[in-house]
Amino acid sequence: MTDSNTTTLSAPISLPREYKGLLSWITTIDHKQIGILYLAMTFFYFLVGGIEAIFMRIQLAVPNNTFLSPNSYNEIFTMHGTTMIFLVVMPMLIGFANYLVPLMIGSRDIAFPRLNALGFWLLFFGSLMLYFSFIGGGAPSAGWFSYAPLSEKPYSATPGLDYWALGLLLMGVGTVSTAININVTILKYRVKGMSLKRLPLFVWMVFINGFIILFALPPLNAALVMLLVDRQLYAHFFQAVAGGSAIMWQQYFWAFGHPEVYIMILPAWGMISEIIPVFSRKPIFGYGFVAGSTLAIGVLSFAVYAHHMFAVGLGHPFNIAFAFSSMAIAVPTGIKIFNWIATMWGGRIRFTTSMKYAIAFIVLFTIGGLSGITFAVVPIDWQVTDTYYVVAHFHYVLFGGTLFGIFAGIYYWFPKMTGRLLSEKLGNWHFWLTFIGFNLTFFIQHFVGLLGMPRRVYTYPNLPGWGWMNMVSTIGAFVLGISVLIFLWNIFISLRKGKPAGDNPWEAWTLEWAASSPPAPHNFELVPPVNGRRPLWDLQHPDTPDWKLNKAES
Partner 1 sequence: MTNSPFNGVSPQAQAISHVFIISLVVLAFILVLVLGLVLFVMIKFRGREGEAEPPQIFGNKKLEITWTVVPGLILVFLFILTVIYANRSDPSVPKGRQPDLVVIAHQWWWELKYPQTGVVTANEIHMPVHKKWLVRIESADVIHSFWVPRLARKMDAIPGHPNHIWLESDSTGTYWGTCSEYCGAQHAGMHIRVIVQNQKDFDAWSNEQQQGPNIPQTGDAAKGQQLFDQLTCLNCHAIKNIGPNLTHVGSRETLASGVITNTPENMARWLHNPQAVKPGCNMPNLYLTNEQVKYLVAYLEASK
Q: Does 505 bind partner 1 (CB under 8 A)?
A: no
Cβ 267 to partner 1, closest distance in Å? 22
Identify which of 206, 191, 183 has the alpha carbon closest to the alpha carbon of residue 273: 206
Size of the site for partner 1 (CB under 8 A): 93
- H or E element in which residue 437 lies: helix 424-450
What three-state secondary structure class fits 124? helix
Member of 16, 70, 137, 500 binding partner 1 (CB under 8 A): 70
Cβ 23 to partner 1, closest distance in Å? 45
Q: Which is nearer to partner 1, 248 or 491 (CB)?
A: 248
Residue pair 258/375 in contact (Cβ under 8 Å)? The answer is no
Residue 350 DSSP code: -
Give the C-alpha separation, 519 to 504, whole Å.
Answer: 12
Cβ 17 to partner 1, closest distance in Å? 39
**How many CB atoms are closer than 10 A to CB 477?**
23
Residue 443 forms beta bridges with which residues?
none
Residue 523 phi, psi dihedral angles, 5° rounding: 70, -65
Q: Please report, as residue ranges, which positions from 117 to 156 form the binding site for partner 1 (by CB under 8 A).
A: 141-143, 147, 149-150, 155
Would you put residue 532 in left (φ > 0), alpha (ψ -120 to 50) or beta? beta
Q: Please report, as residue ranges, which positions from 257 to 286 form the binding site for partner 1 (by CB under 8 A).
A: 280-283, 285-286
Give 353's Cβ-side CA count (13 Å radius).
Answer: 24
Member of 43, 45, 163, 287 binding partner 1 (CB under 8 A): 287
Give 105's Cβ-side CA count (13 Å radius).
Answer: 32
Q: Please report, as residue ranges, which positions from 326 to 385 form the binding site for partner 1 (by CB under 8 A).
A: 327-328, 330-331, 334-335, 337-339, 341-342, 344-351, 359, 362-363, 366-367, 370-371, 373-374, 376-380, 382-385
Q: Please report, as residue ranges, which positions from 227 to 256 form the binding site for partner 1 (by CB under 8 A).
A: 240-241, 245-247
Q: Select from 157-165, 401-409, 463-471, 522-530 the region that touches partner 1 (CB under 8 A).
A: 463-471
Identify which of 16, 40, 62 has the alpha carbon closest to the alpha carbon of residue 467: 62
Q: Does 542 bind partner 1 (CB under 8 A)?
A: no
Q: Which is nearer to partner 1, 416 or 446 (CB)?
A: 446
Give the C-alpha separation, 216 to 260, whole Å.
Answer: 7
Give the C-alpha separation, 30 to 98, whole Å.
Answer: 10
Q: Does 456 bind partner 1 (CB under 8 A)?
A: yes
- Amino acid in position 173: V
Q: Which is nearer to partner 1, 5 or 462 (CB)?
A: 462
Cβ 246 to partner 1, closest distance in Å? 6
Q: Please report, as residue ranges, which positions from 469 to 488 form the binding site for partner 1 (by CB under 8 A).
A: none
Quote the crossing angle between the two packed helices 330-344 and 287-300, to the nearest 10°. Answer: 160
Member of 289, 318, 432, 547 binding partner 1 (CB under 8 A): 289
Q: Does 462 bind partner 1 (CB under 8 A)?
A: no
Cβ 110 to partner 1, closest distance in Å? 31
Identify which of 225, 115, 237 has the alpha carbon closest to the alpha carbon of residue 178: 115
Cβ 314 to partner 1, closest distance in Å? 9
Cβ 553 to partner 1, closest distance in Å? 6
What three-state secondary structure class fits 420? strand
Member of 12, 136, 419, 452 binding partner 1 (CB under 8 A): 452
Secondary structure (DSSP) of 249-270: HHHHHHHHHHHHHHHTTHHHHH
Q: Which is nearer to partner 1, 14 or 544 (CB)?
A: 544
Q: Which is nearer to partner 1, 107 or 280 (CB)?
A: 280
Q: Does 451 bind partner 1 (CB under 8 A)?
A: yes
